[in-house]
């Protein structure tokens, strides 16, 4: 199964953009790149996903490298409520989902 690699933790200042990187060098052609986040005492929350093209939604943007071996989740203006663990996951079919340890994002006021 294709695996992802993320930094253990990152810090960012409030109201500044945040770029969360993810490496997935063994990605296959059918793998979608999904991002979820988990706030304390809550279930994971879907953030965004994409296949080849960059994607934008109300929560974030997803930038996918041309060779698809890496991607970056972009939070345009971090708030304290964005402090969470962010998971980058590859999914090719519904049951093939492996959560890694994710990146713990700290937001500094």
The residue ranges that bind other proteins (CB under 8 A) are: 30-32, 34, 36, 41-46, 49, 51, 87, 90-101
**Nearer of residues 36 and 70 to other proteins, judged by Cβ:** 36
**Nearer of residues 7 and 44 to other proteins, judged by Cβ:** 44
CB of 101 to other proteins, least distance (A): 6
Rounded distance between C-alpha atoms, residue 9 and residue 53, angstroms: 26
**Nearer of residues 12 and 48 to other proteins, judged by Cβ:** 48
Using CA atoms, how far residue 64 sits from 8, 15, 26, in Å, is 20, 24, 14
How many other C-beta atoms lie within 10 A of the C-beta of residue 105? 21
């Amino acid at each position: 199964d294709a695996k992802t690699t993320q930094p253990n933790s990152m810090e960012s200042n409030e109201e500044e953009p945040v770029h969360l990187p993810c490496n997935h060098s063994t990605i296959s052609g059918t793998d979608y790149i999904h991002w979820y986040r988990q706030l304390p005492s809550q279930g994971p929350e879907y953030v965004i996903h994409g296949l080849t093209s960059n994607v934008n939604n109300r929560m974030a943007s997803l930038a996918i490298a041309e060779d698809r071996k890496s991607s970056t989740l972009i939070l345009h203006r971090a708030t304290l409520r964005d402090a969470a663990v962010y998971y980058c996951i590859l999914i090719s079919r519904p049951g093939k989902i492996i959560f890694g340890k994710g990146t713990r994002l700290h937001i500094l006021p």
